[in-house]
């Protein structure tokens, strides 16, 4: 389906549920910025491919899409027997979970949905489906609240007129609203902070150029696009006062996996004395993963490097290509991890444990725990 080209990208939900069509509706991010198109996903293959091929991307948005996706698929599952329903639920859950191994929000959201399913054992399948819908809606609502809270805490780390550098897209397009790394920028824009933002283009898939620069421009933010290999120069010139990035998984020790090239920006920031912040909802913090060494790094097709943006291949056909989608920034290079409960600083594991204990006790996003 098309989108009204008179509107801006900020007028559309990144992910939504179309109950009349029993479909997940997403913005096809592979077509941006040239074309704004909404597409409906109705089958398991369509949902899987949308996640794998980055039509929907960004850890929070992937989680919301997975939650709505598994709910949509339950309409085609056996309705008369919980056992048969649950077996098919598990099969589809495992299939969707295989789309992206690094982003923890994918498995996190699907596991939440599975727990609702199991808690409904003994109830009619129709009631279980109703509860699954409510859980998916809650996941999206929580994402909005969490991102705003991250924005409020992040905004306290900078001042009006500051220069901010970001890498990849951890913006509105990567979440339900506000984004994570861009949340302080959007709140600052609303309050007249007049930030100067530098967006790395983010090779090889150019999410910084195609998505971050695009959505910030559409929002009226002062943004300058730079190549990835320019970040150290703008820091050296004193144009950057802070770096905000998102992440797809944070290990218990604070190591953070984010789009490839993030660790280079972190190393440059350390060299030039620029604070480097990772904006991470607690849903991306994986206490079962001790360090970044245990994070599985997704490797993607060679053509993303050699052919994707070119009429003809820009590399020799016989050349070998190494194309990891992410790298891991060592916790020692991170100034703080901005969560919906405040800014965690080293030692990270202790801070995370305090936050999760408070969260277990029912604390809501926005209350500073640390």
Q: pLDDT tens digit string along 74-121?
A: 999 999 999 999 999 999 999 999 999 887 899 999 999 999 999 999
Q: What is the pLDDT of residue 177?
A: 87
Q: How far is CA 3 from the centre of its chain?
A: 23
What confidence score (pLDDT) does residue 230 get? 98
Q: What percent of the chain has pLDDT over 90?
A: 92
- Hey, do 9-145 and 151-360 end up sharing a CATH topology, with the first three levels equal? no
pLDDT value of residue 97: 97
Neighbouring residues of 130: CB distance < 8 A, sequence distance ≥ 6 = none
Distance CA 124, CA 37 (A): 37
**Mean pLDDT throughout 200-211?**
96
Range 125-147 average pLDDT = 97
Q: What confidence category does residue 35 fall into, taking pLDDT thresholds of 50, 70 and 90?
A: very high
Nearest CA-CA partner of 73 in 120, 110, 98, 30: 110
How confident is the model at residue 268, as a pLDDT? 98
**CA-to-CA distance for 235 and 90, rounded, in angstroms?**
48
The answer to whether residue 148 scores a pLDDT higher than 70 is: yes
pLDDT for position 9: 85
pLDDT confidence of residue 3: 62
Q: Has residue 310 got a pLDDT over 80?
A: yes
Query: What CATH code would you report for 9-145?
Result: 1.20.120.420
Question: Rounded to a whole number, what is the distance in angstroms from the first to the last CA of the chain?
Answer: 45
Give the CATH class of 151-360.
Answer: alpha beta
Q: Residue 350: pLDDT above 70? A: yes
pLDDT, mean over the chain: 95
Given a cut of 80, whether residue 5 has pLDDT beyond it is no
In this predicted structure, the answer to whether residue 238 has a pLDDT above a threshold of 90 is: yes
Instruction: Note the pTM of the prediction, 2 decimals.
Output: 0.92
Annotated catalytic residue within 143, 248, 255, 327: 248
H/E segment holding residue 68:
helix 59-73
Q: What does the CA dihedral 233, 234, 237, 241 come to, rounded to 10 degrees?
A: -140
pLDDT at 104: 85
Buried b / exposed e across 105-114, counting CB within 10 Å, b at 16+?
Answer: bbbbbbebbb
Q: Is 307 a known active-site residue?
A: no
Q: Quick count: other Cβ atoms within 10 Å of Cβ 139?
A: 22
Residues counted in the chain: 370
Q: What is the pLDDT of residue 6?
A: 65
pLDDT at 65 over 90: yes
What is the helix, strand, coil percentage profile of the chain, to 5? 45, 15, 40
Spell out the domain ranges in the chain: 9-145, 151-360
The pLDDT of 231-248, averaged and rounded, is: 98
**String of DSSP letters for 8-64:** -GGGS-SEEEETTTTEEEEE-TTSTTT--BEEEE-SHHHHHHHHHTTSS-SHHHHHH
- Cβ neighbours for 115, distance < 8 A, ≥ 6 positions apart: none
């Amino acid at each position: 389906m098309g989108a009204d080209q008179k509107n801006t990208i900020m007028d559309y939900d990144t992910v939504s549920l179309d109950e009349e069509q029993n479909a997940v509706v997403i913005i096809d991010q592979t077509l941006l910025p040239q074309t704004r198109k909404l597409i409906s996903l109705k089958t398991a293959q369509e949902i899987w491919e949308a996640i794998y091929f980055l039509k929907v991307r960004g850890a929070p948005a992937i989680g919301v899409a997975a939650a709505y996706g598994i709910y949509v698929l339950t309409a085609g599952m056996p309705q008369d027997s919980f056992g048969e329903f649950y077996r098919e639920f598990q099969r589809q859950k495992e299939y969707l979970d295989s789309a992206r191994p690094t982003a923890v929000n994918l498995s996190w959201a699907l596991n939440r949905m599975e727990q609702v399913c199991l808690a409904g054992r003994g109830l009619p399948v129709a009631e279980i489906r109703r509860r699954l819908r409510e859980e998916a809606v809650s996941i999206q609502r929580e994402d909005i609240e969490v991102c705003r809270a991250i924005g409020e805490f992040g905004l306290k780390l900078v001042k009006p007129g500051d220069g901010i550098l970001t890498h990849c897209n951890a913006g509105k397009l990567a979440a339900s609203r506000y984004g994570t790394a861009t949340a302080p920028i959007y709140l600052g824009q609303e309050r007249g902070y007049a930030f100067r933002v530098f967006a790395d283009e983010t090779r090889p898939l150019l999410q910084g150029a195609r998505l971050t620069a695009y959505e910030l421009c559409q929002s009226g933010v002062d943004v300058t696009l730079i190549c990835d290999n320019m970040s150290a120069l703008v820091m050296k010139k004193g144009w950057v006062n802070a770096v905000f990035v998102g992440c797809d998984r944070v290990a218990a020790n604070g190591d953070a996996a984010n789009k490839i090239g993030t660790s280079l920006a972190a190393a440059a920031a350390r060299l030039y004395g620029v604070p480097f912040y990772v904006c991470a909802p607690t849903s991306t913090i994986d206490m079962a993963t001790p360090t970044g060494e245990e994070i599985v790094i997704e490797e993607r097709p060679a053509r993303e490097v050699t052919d994707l943006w070119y009429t003809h291949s820009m590399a020799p056909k016989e050349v070998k290509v190494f194309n990891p989608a992410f790298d891991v920034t060592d916790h020692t290079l991170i100034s703080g991890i901005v969560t919906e409960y405040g800014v965690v600083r080293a030692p990270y594991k202790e801070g995370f444990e305090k936050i999760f204990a408070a969260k277990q006790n029912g604390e809501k996003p926005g209350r500073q725990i640390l």
